[in-house]
């Protein structure tokens, strides 16, 4: 074991020993809220991103709040049962308002989709697994192991039409910092299939304009990983323009930086996922096309890569997936793409030989 690995293990054991007090408190109080706080520490120890941790805590808090409101008292570990979570699941499915109390969106009169219900329940299931693996176990068995999740419908492809992408790109004035930056981000997203978080975390030192590649880091359940993605000549030209002519000369390793505001003329910082999403929304509005979010660029890259002659195994590696099953989600083609592929394949070309009766 290396010195660095041994130091990390010692640090983990020290932090774990420091939590024996809180663990005893959980057993004594029996409150789910106390276990939830300990679970946050567990996620931090395993280097989950702040965004992921906040999402997990929000979903678990929603379950606690709903259950406590129904029971009229604090939720105890003995209340963490399959029956109570099933009641919560039915409440989610019956909810008719989206984005209630959301900091960025106005409430929308619309039921939660099966995908949204799954997103609410997945962190709760992970929390249930952790409760059983805690030392000592906080519940006797994983009560949510058999929790049925809502079936997912066959949705329309999420890829973006070329005309919509071109219209959005035309809104970027390359002579300005905002236009040069946004054009580089848009082109890079559709050329590489990068996640919004990976774009925001991209570093200048990991960018190779000559080799047209970028090393990116992304989070997994077992920690951080890296991979190299590649881009074309047009993306390289836009990136070079932004880096050489418009990127602020500040002491920051991040590739893409925020713009000065009227409240802070000198302040620049790394772009957040929310800032990238807002940029996409703003550009779509200016182009007068239906809004497409950054992750749809990833869904567009997949089928375009295969239609251009790429193979599924290379696509899996470029997208950073561990299995081809996950990659398959990103290759759902639009109707016009399928029609064109059918025309090229011409599966009945042997029928031209004149088979069949001529009467």
- Residues 19-61 pLDDT 10s: 445 555 776 788 999 999 999 999 998 878 787 899 999 999 9
User: pLDDT value at position 83?
Assistant: 95
Whole-angstrom Cα distance, residue 235 to residue 240?
A: 9
Residues 6+ apart with CB under 8 A from 228: 213, 214, 215, 216
Mean pLDDT of 332-356: 67
Between these two residues, 179 and 323, which has the higher pLDDT value? 179
Confidence of residue 290 (pLDDT cuts 50, 70, 90): very high
**Per DSSP, what are the bridge partners of residue 214?**
207, 229
User: pLDDT value at position 12?
Assistant: 46
Mean pLDDT of 109-130: 89
Between these two residues, 43 and 266, which has the higher pLDDT value? 43
Instruction: Please give the CATH number for the structural domain made up of 162-344.
Output: 1.10.443.10
Taking 90 as the threshold, does the pLDDT of residue 150 lie above it?
Answer: no
User: pLDDT value at position 221?
Assistant: 47
Taking 80 as the threshold, does the pLDDT of residue 288 lie above it?
Answer: yes
> Which segment of 185-199, 230-244, 327-341 scores lowest on mean pLDDT?
327-341
User: pLDDT value at position 243?
Assistant: 95
> Which segment of 123-132, 205-214, 335-344 scores lowest on mean pLDDT?
335-344
Domain boundaries in the chain?
A: 3-133, 162-344
Instruction: Report pLDDT digits (tens) over 72-106.
Output: 999 999 999 999 999 999 999 888 776 666 656 66
Taking 60 as the threshold, does the pLDDT of residue 147 lie above it?
Answer: yes
Whole-angstrom Cα distance, residue 92 to residue 123?
A: 14
Cis peptide before 211 (omega within 30 of 0): no
Number of C-beta neighbours around residue 115 at 10 A: 11
Between these two residues, 5 and 218, which has the higher pLDDT value? 218
User: pLDDT value at position 8?
Assistant: 52
Whole-angstrom Cα distance, residue 128 to residue 111?
A: 26
User: pLDDT value at position 13?
Assistant: 45
Confidence of residue 342 (pLDDT cuts 50, 70, 90): confident
Contact 70, 60 (CB under 8 A): no
Report the candidate in 55, 205, 27 with the shortest Cα–Cα distance to residue 116.
Answer: 55
Look over the chain and give the mean of its residue pLDDT values, rounded to a whole number.
Answer: 83
Contact 245, 180 (CB under 8 A): yes
Mean pLDDT of 107-121: 83
Residue 221: exposure state from Cβ atoms within 10 A (0-12, 13-18, ≥19) = exposed
Confidence of residue 136 (pLDDT cuts 50, 70, 90): confident
Taking 90 as the threshold, does the pLDDT of residue 242 lie above it?
Answer: yes
Percent of the chain with pLDDT over 70: 81
Tokens of 335: 């109707």
Mean pLDDT of 245-266: 81
**Secondary structure of the chain as H, E, C letters:** CCHHHHHHHHHHHHHHHHCHHHHHHHHHHCEHHHHHHHHHHHHHHCCCCHHHHHHHHHHHHHHHHHHHHHHCCCCEHHHCCHHHHHHHHHHHHHCCCECCCCCCCCCECCCCCHHHHHHHHHHHHHHHHHHHHCCCCCCCCCCCCCCCCCCCCCCCCCCCCHHHHHHHHCCCCCCCHHHHHHHHHHHHHHHHCCCHHHHHHCEHHHEECCCCEEEEEEEECCEEEEEEEECCHHHHHHHHHHHHHHCCCCCCCECCECCCCCCCCCCCCECCHHHHHHHHHHHHHHHCCCCCCHHHHHHHHHHHHHHCCCCHHHHHHHHCCCCHHHHHHHHCCCHHHHHHHHHHHCCCHHHHHCCCCCC
User: pLDDT value at position 11?
Assistant: 55
* CB burial string 125-158: b at 16+ within 10 A, e below: bbbbebbeebeeebbeebbbeebeebeeeeeebb
Whole-angstrom Cα distance, residue 306 to residue 188?
A: 18
Whole-angstrom Cα distance, residue 138 to residue 128?
A: 9
Whole-angstrom Cα distance, residue 357 to residue 352?
A: 13
């Amino acid at each position: 074991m290396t010195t660095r690995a041994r130091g990390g293990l010692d640090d983990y054991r020290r932090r774990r020993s420091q939590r024996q007090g809180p663990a005893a408190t959980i057993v004594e109080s029996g409150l789910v809220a106390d276990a939830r706080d300990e679970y946050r520490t567990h996620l931090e120890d395993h280097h989950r991103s702040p965004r992921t941790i906040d999402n997990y805590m929000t979903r678990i808090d929603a379950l606690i709040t709903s259950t406590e409101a129904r029971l009229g008292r604090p939720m105890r570990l003995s209340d963490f049962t399959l029956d109570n979570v099933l009641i919560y699941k039915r409440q989610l499915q019956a909810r008719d308002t989206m984005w209630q109390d959301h900091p960025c969106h106005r409430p929308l009169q619309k039921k939660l989709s099966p995908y949204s219900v799954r997103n609410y329940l997945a962190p709760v299931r992970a929390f249930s697994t952790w409760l059983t693996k805690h030392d000592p176990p906080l519940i006797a068995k994983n009560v949510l192991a058999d929790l049925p999740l809502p079936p997912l419908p066959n949705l329309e492809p999420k890829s973006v039409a070329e005309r919509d992408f071109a219209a959005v790109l035309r809104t970027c004035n390359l002579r300005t910092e905002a236009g040069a930056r946004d054009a580089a981000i848009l082109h890079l997203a559709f050329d590489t299939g990068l996640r919004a978080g990976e774009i925001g975390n991209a570093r200048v030192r990991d960018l190779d304009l000559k080799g047209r590649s970028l090393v990116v880091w992304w989070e997994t359940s077992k920690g951080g990983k890296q991979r190299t993605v590649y881009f074309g000549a047009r993306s390289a030209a836009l990136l070079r323009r932004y880096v050489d002519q418009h990127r602020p000369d500040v002491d920051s390793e991040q590739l893409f930086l925020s713009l000065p505001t009227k409240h802070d003329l000198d302040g620049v910082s790394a772009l957040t996922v929310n800032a990238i999403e807002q940029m996409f929304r703003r550009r779509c509005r200016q182009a007068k096309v239906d809004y497409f979010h950054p992750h749809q660029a990833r869904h567009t890259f997949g089928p375009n890569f295969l239609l251009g002659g790429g193979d599924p195994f290379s696509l899996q590696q470029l997208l950073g997936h561990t299995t081809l099953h996950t990659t398959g989600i990103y290759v759902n083609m639009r109707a016009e793409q399928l029609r064109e592929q059918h025309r090229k394949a011409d599966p009945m070309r042997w029928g031209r030989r004149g088979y069949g009766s001529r009467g």
